Structure 1
Amino acid sequence: MQHSTEAPPPLTRQDIRTLFLASLGGALEFYDFIIFVFFAVTIARLFFPADMPDWLQQLQAFGIFAAGYLARPLGGLVMAHFGDLFGRKRVFTFSVFLMAVPTLAMGLLPTYASIGVAAPILLLTMRLLQGAAIGGEAPGAWVFVAEHVPARRVGIACGMLTGGLTGGILLGSLMATGINLAYTPAEVAEFAWRIPFVAGGIFGLVAMVLRRWLHETPVFEAMRRRAGPAREMPIKAVLRGQGRAVAISMLLTWMLTAAIVVVILMTPALFQKMHGLAPATTLSANVAATFTLTIMAVAYGALMDRFGALRTGIPGCLALIAATYALYYGTEASPGSLLPLYALAGASAGVITVVPFVMVQAFPAETRFTGVSFSYNVAYAAFGGITPLLVSLLMATDRHAAAHYVAAVAVIGMGALAWNAARAAAAAAKAPPAAMPSPGLPRPAAR
């Protein structure tokens, strides 16, 4: 699709309402998923035997946290299958419910001292349900909002939804900070650790009720009228004939995991070890970075509506590389500059909005939910899982290995954007003049 530099048309009141409700639900669902990690130390002491070594308690607690990521691909694929066959709205609403209930239950679970080994087993079960829910949330939300807005507003829709998801991480960080400021460590261990889980579960149920007011996407309604109920299994169609779209989506998701896992999640702990910075200092800077990421995710979406994925994504990837190097080398030279440098790096990470923008346009309507969910969740599970280990190993030989890793993956992301542009141009050249794109979505951006 050739992108005009003219301003895209404004969103209608219905568009804004849909984006707000979708983004709010996404923020609350990501808050529910991430809040566990902020209280992992407390949970480790409460849900495993008191005579177990601290390191083993923490290892098992983080193992339960990681189990949520392992459940993402399967949960996402199952929900995407039903979303492509029976409707986006039903699955989009169900994913919030599937996240809210186990989150609420986690806040009410008895500890090891009360029920013994059943406590960590129940905790693991709830975490797996959370993982299944989050596997369907992000892909489902991106597809839902992209199919609701006009063709030249897909970028802002994906940007607002991505901003909502990262805003959930920010909300979790703020909640954890508030709990630890308001209560003593003894009070946190006794009861206060439960508050964020119970609150998240309740807010999630409220978000589910709000999402019931949303309408099914026009794209799916048109597809249902055109194709009827009997269609091929979406995953078969994706794996058989959409390999290039899957590969491009996975490579771009790799870039997203580098920006989120390394720049946002790993950097505070790395800087505490590398530069001896206090946790409060690195976490405050991390809040600033997450905030600028949330804002710039929306801004990048608006830019892509005007200039396309390639023209926006290539400069954005270059900015991510430059800002990450500035963060790592600049903080080493002047630790007092951490906060502004981290805020700048967070803002540059807003380029991740290019990932859903490209993915929702890479797959046809009939398999869009499944294609996005399969590509995103499998890639995130693989690359998101290996990134912390690989970066930690590389850091043993190079203090700036984290920045080198982000730079290398950003270059891969630029290559994927160029490949996508070439693929879109080739498809446009072969298409007959009367061919039209899927309702509500443009063809993949070629410029």
Structure 2
Amino acid sequence: MPSRPQYELMSPKDRNIVLFVCFSSAVMFFDFLIYLYMVDVISAAFFPANADSAITRLQGLGLFTIGYLARPLGGIIFGRYGDIKGRKPVLLISILVTAASMLAMALLPTYAQWGLAAPALFIALRIIQGMAFGVFAPLTWIFVAEHVPRQYLSAGCSYIMVSFLLGVLFSNAFFMWLTASMTTEQLITDGWRLPFIVATILSFLPILAWRYISESPFFIEMKEQKPGKCFAKPFTLLFKHCKHSIFIGMILTLIISSLVTVVVLLLPKLITLRFTIDSDLFGFSHSLGIIFMIFGCLFYGILSNYQNFGKILVIGSALLIAQVFAFFYHLDAGGDYILIMYALLGFCAGIVGMIPAIFVQLFPTNVRLTGMAFSYNVTYGIVGGLVPFALSYATVFVSFSPALYIAFIGFIGIIIGLYFYNLPEFKQINQLV
């Protein structure tokens, strides 16, 4: 089937689509992270009062984990639909379902009002939202990759990773303001509803620009050719022709999910389990680390446009291993230069910015969303469901546990980088099976 020219400038329409997807991604990540920031408050509002604070916290973390466990189901269902009916309708569905679930959560009664029905409804809505988010992340990479010219593929996909991190920064700022503006009692009473209301408004905003968004050119070309077998039974085609791609996709997702989950989300809590650092300085250091991770995503995303992907991944993974050990040895020595060390760690973790572009090219067009959604969400569900609990437990006994885990992921990055280094470059991303 025909493809876009190898070297073509990005049109204003392409730029608008990238901006639309990036804004939507930042909002969706904010939506998904509400539970992490509000874990204690939501537990107090939706579960019976418990004298054991550890159990209360486990209840809240369970709500956060449920969202990860629901993602594979949503990825499988919506991914299949997206390969049959198109990328655009699935993108709309995922945004609308997320916005509707946020609104429903904002209006839910608490445990004091409805008893056990309240947490049951909250968990059901959390599952629905997790399912919608499950297809959203791989879909955004595909949507951008299938719109922009080939030479912008890696950079365009890295912008999506950047938008997720911007969502984290917005979350940090928003919840710092929220906790400074309200007492714990106010938050438990009704203040917890405010983040969900804000999330609902932000989630509906992208719909205002929906008429300017077009379907993927690759999907349109495939549909115009009307090869019946390209649309029938994408799962059958996927597992018949793409077993190897599924395995590689899972390995790539393991790298992405581990670095985002540990470096971006869990590291502040894990460090405070064993190290004592000024809370204000440490909070600023974490935000600075995310800012430099944004720079790292852009750097590696753009660099991999011009250099062999495997070589860059090997070098980047080796630098990450070195820096994560330097970071923890520095903490053990007192943490006097935490700002510099956190910034360097964030930049090194920016290797995640280059991975989506190669992930997209693993799967043929007619099973791409199914394949990516399956690989991505099954792996992310495992990592998101197990790693927070496992690392929290391990760090109590071994302070360097997060460093050891990141180093393990770095070694996997080196191995997969060597694998790609010896492969021929991908020639096109619009092939079919």
Using structure 2 for the length normalisation, give the TM-score: 0.92
Distance 2:219 2:166 in 1: 28
- Contact 1:100 1:200 survives alignment (8 Å): yes
Report SS of the residue matched to 2:386: helix
Q: Compared with structure 1, are the counterparts of its residues 189 and 388 closer, same or farther at alpha carbon in structure 2 (3 Å cutoff)?
A: closer
Alpha carbon RMSD of aligned pairs, Å?
2.1
Report SS of the residue matched to 2:337: helix
Which residue pairs with 1:131 in the alignment?
Answer: 130
Q: Compared with structure 1, are the counterparts of its residues 438 and 355 closer, same or farther at alpha carbon in structure 2 (3 Å cutoff)?
A: closer
- Contact 2:41 2:184 survives alignment (8 Å): no
Correspondences of 1:348-387 after superposition (within 5 Å): 348-387=348-387
Q: Compared with structure 1, are the counterparts of its residues 312 and 11 closer, same or farther at alpha carbon in structure 2 (3 Å cutoff)?
A: farther
Q: Flag structure 2 segments of 5+ consecutive residues without an equivalent.
A: 1-6
Distance 1:31 1:58 in 2: 21
Which residue pairs with 1:325 in the alignment?
Answer: 325
Q: Compared with structure 1, are the counterparts of its residues 392 and 111 closer, same or farther at alpha carbon in structure 2 (3 Å cutoff)?
A: closer
Which residue pairs with 1:284 in the alignment?
Answer: 284
Give how far 1:311 is off.
3.1
Does residue 54 of structure 1 match 2:45?
no
Give how far 1:126 is off.
1.1
Which residue pairs with 2:98 in the alignment?
Answer: 99
Report SS of the residue matched to 1:206: helix
CA displacement, residues 230-270 of structure 1 (integer Å, 9 cap, x when unaligned): 53311222212212211111112111222122222222112
- Contact 2:84 2:232 survives alignment (8 Å): no
Distance 2:210 2:286 in 1: 31
Correspondences of 1:16-35 after superposition (within 5 Å): 16-35=15-34
Q: Compared with structure 1, are the counterparts of its residues 211 and 355 closer, same or farther at alpha carbon in structure 2 (3 Å cutoff)?
A: farther
Identical-residue share of aligned pairs (%): 29
Correspondences of 1:99-248 after superposition (within 5 Å): 99-228=98-227, 231-248=231-248
Which residue pairs with 2:428 in the alignment?
Answer: 437
Correspondences of 1:76-87 after superposition (within 5 Å): 76-87=75-86
Distance 1:438 1:284 in 2: 41
- Contact 1:94 1:208 survives alignment (8 Å): no
Q: For 1:163, give the aligned amino acid.
A: V
CA displacement, residues 254-308 of structure 1 (integer Å, 9 cap, x when unaligned): 1122212222222211221211234444332222222222232223211111224
Q: Flag structure 1 segments of 5+ consecutive residues without an equivalent.
A: 1-7, 429-435, 442-447
Distance 2:211 2:153 in 1: 22
Q: For 2:256, give the aligned amino acid.
A: L
Q: Compared with structure 1, are the counterparts of its residues 88 and 251 closer, same or farther at alpha carbon in structure 2 (3 Å cutoff)?
A: same
Give how far 1:397 is off.
5.2
Does residue 395 of structure 1 match 2:368?
no
Report SS of the residue matched to 1:362: coil
Which residue pairs with 1:265 in the alignment?
Answer: 265
Q: For 1:335, give the aligned amino acid.
A: G
Does residue 36 of structure 1 match 2:35?
yes
Equivalent pairs counted in the alignment come to: 425
- Contact 2:78 2:90 survives alignment (8 Å): yes
CA displacement, residues 168-190 of structure 1 (integer Å, 9 cap, x when unaligned): 12211211111112223333223
Which residue pairs with 1:341 in the alignment?
Answer: 341
Give how far 1:85 is off.
0.6
Give how far 1:110 is off.
1.3
Q: For 2:351, give the aligned amino acid.
A: V
Q: Compared with structure 1, are the counterparts of its residues 257 and 365 closer, same or farther at alpha carbon in structure 2 (3 Å cutoff)?
A: same
Distance 1:189 1:170 in 2: 24
Distance 1:32 1:315 in 2: 34
Q: Compared with structure 1, are the counterparts of its residues 10 and 320 closer, same or farther at alpha carbon in structure 2 (3 Å cutoff)?
A: farther
Q: Could you tell which deviates more after superposition, 154-163 or 272-281?
A: 272-281
Q: Compared with structure 1, are the counterparts of its residues 389 and 181 closer, same or farther at alpha carbon in structure 2 (3 Å cutoff)?
A: closer
Q: For 1:138, give the aligned amino acid.
A: A
